[in-house]
């Protein structure tokens, strides 16, 4: 399958492999809050596979518990999407449907995305688990990877990630995804050297994305604007944001 190379890059111990299909019915029942979401899963998902269950007993990484979350295992899951699928929404629905933190590798045609999302206890409903932000790579082809994509794949091996506990391990994968996203801007893949640097990279990525969105809106407005004074104002604002964008790139 298209995602085989990504799964191989994780270097999952044989004892942790499950290799079972997950019924779409489970996703529909557990992760689709609306009729539209149910249709997205039914029409957009070809198949779901449970690849592995990473536990303290099979990867020698302790469980994690605090007042916010409990990580007893990490599930590695694959999803094959049909051509008509809307991947972004379906990825979120899959993360919501399965109670464990997921390493979700999804194939859409010849391309693959990898996504992760921390989970925590709901503050409003006792016993319920909710997801936080979904971190996902751009779609890429692991069979013909670029230099940055090769470096990203190499970084994913479980043995190379933090082993303090399952939360730290999972965060290590998120940091790999953030480094991969940053490499699409800088042209160079580099893993953060500390938790502070990792947080800084994520913040800079958010700022960079926000500035790009604002610039897109302003450039569109400037192109349509007929009043010279207003066009000058928009162009000045564009230059200011471009300067901020350069600074955000430098922070990566």
- The structural domains of the chain, with segments of one domain joined by +, span 4-164, 201-251
Is the Cβ–Cβ distance between 112 and 2 less than 8 Å? yes
The whole-number pLDDT of residue 89 equals 87
* Cα separation, 45 vs 97, whole angstroms: 14
**Which residues, other chains included, contact 1 with Cβ-Cβ below 8 Å and sequence gap of 6+?**
78, 80, 107
The whole-number pLDDT of residue 173 equals 97
The whole-number pLDDT of residue 81 equals 92
The Cα angle at residue 120 between residues 118 and 126, in degrees rounded to 5: 160
C-alpha distance from residue 227 to each of 59, 165, 231, 236, 240 (Å)? 64, 59, 6, 14, 20
The whole-number pLDDT of residue 33 equals 75
Query: SS3 of 71, please?
Result: strand
pTM across the whole model: 0.88
Q: Which residues, given as ranges, of the chain have pLDDT below 70?
A: 1, 31
The whole-number pLDDT of residue 70 equals 94
Query: SS3 of 218, please?
Result: helix
The whole-number pLDDT of residue 116 equals 96
Q: Where are the beta strands (DSSP E) in the chain?
A: 17-22, 45-54, 64-65, 70-71, 74-81, 102-108, 111-121, 129-136
The whole-number pLDDT of residue 248 equals 84
């Amino acid at each position: 399958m298209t995602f085989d190379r990504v799964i191989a890059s994780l270097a999952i111990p044989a004892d942790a492999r499950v290799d079972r299909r997950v019924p779409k019915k489970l996703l529909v029942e557990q992760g689709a809050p609306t009729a539209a979401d149910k249709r997205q899963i039914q029409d957009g998902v070809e198949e779901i596979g449970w690849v592995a269950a990473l536990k303290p007993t099979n990867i020698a990484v302790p469980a994690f518990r605090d007042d916010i979350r409990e990580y007893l295992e990490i599930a590695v899951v694959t999803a094959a999407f049909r051509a008509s699928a809307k991947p972004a929404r379906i990825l979120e629905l899959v993360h919501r449907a399965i109670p464990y933190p997921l390493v979700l590798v999804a194939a859409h045609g010849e391309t693959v995305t990898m996504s992760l999302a921390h989970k925590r206890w709901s503050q409003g409903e006792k016993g319920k688990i909710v997801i936080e932000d979904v971190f996902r790579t751009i779609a890429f082809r692991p069979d013909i990877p670029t230099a940055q994509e090769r470096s990203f794949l190499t970084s994913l091996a479980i043995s190379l990630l933090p082993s303090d506990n399952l939360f730290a391990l999972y965060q290590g994968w998120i940091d790999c995804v953030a480094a991969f996203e940053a490499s699409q801007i800088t042209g160079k893949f580099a893993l953060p050297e500390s938790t502070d640097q990792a947080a800084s990279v994520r913040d800079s990525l958010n700022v960079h994305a926000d500035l790009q969105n604002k610039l897109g809106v302003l450039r569109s407005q400037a192109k349509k604007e007929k009043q010279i004074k207003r066009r000058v104002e928009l162009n000045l604002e564009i230059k200011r944001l471009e300067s901020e964008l350069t600074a955000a790139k430098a922070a990566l």
